[in-house]
């Protein structure tokens, strides 16, 4: 295998993705906040970066069912349209996810 191919394989990571919360925040009957699972993947939050698909799927078993494993080179992660002005910030992953982790 050539060096450049081996390097390309190493650069691919897997993300454990979390859908963005619904705005304004709406708690469900159990007190957890609803997540916008219909949002495009480019708006989802990168909750955790993992080295392999197997490691990501192992983590997936420990979280809520709306999380997804996505390869870092997946074209769905690229926004197809510019984000709306004044949209919610996606920089608070830990705060959005804290109520969903058990």
As a whole number of angstroms, the distance between CA 87 and CA 32 comes to 22
Give CA–CA dist 3/44, Å, rounded.
33
- For the ranges 23-27, 32-36, 53-57, 84-88, the maximum mean pLDDT occurs at 53-57
Q: 46 lies in a domain?
A: yes
What is the span of the domain harbouring residue 25? 3-79+89-98
| pTM to 2 decimal places | 0.63
User: Whose CA is closest to 13, among 72, 76, 74, 75?
Assistant: 72
The pLDDT tens digits of the residues spanning 86-102 come to 555 555 454 555 555 54
Q: Is residue 84 part of a domain?
A: no
List Cβ neighbours of 49 (8 Å cut-off, separation of 6 or more). Answer: 13, 14, 15, 16, 72
Number of domains forming the structure of the chain:
1
At 50-65, the pLDDT tens digits run: 999 999 999 999 998 9
Instruction: Give CA separation, 94 vs 80, 85, 91, in Å.
Output: 26, 23, 9
- In this structure, is residue 33 part of a structural domain? yes
Establish if 31 belongs to a structural domain: yes
20 contacts 96 by C-beta, under 8 angstroms: yes
- Between CA 69 and CA 16 the distance in angstroms is 5
């Amino acid at each position: 295998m050539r060096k450049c191919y081996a390097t390309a394989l190493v650069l691919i990571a897997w993300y454990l993705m979390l859908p963005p919360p619904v705005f304004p925040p709406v708690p469900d009957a159990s007190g957890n906040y609803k997540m916008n699972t219909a949002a495009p993947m480019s708006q989802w939050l990168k909750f955790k970066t993992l080295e392999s698909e197997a490691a990501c799927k192992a983590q997936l078993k420990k979280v809520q069912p709306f999380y997804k494993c996505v390869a870092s080179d997946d074209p769905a992660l690229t926004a197809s349209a510019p984000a709306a002005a004044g949209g919610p910030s996606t920089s608070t992953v830990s705060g959005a996810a804290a109520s969903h982790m058990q």
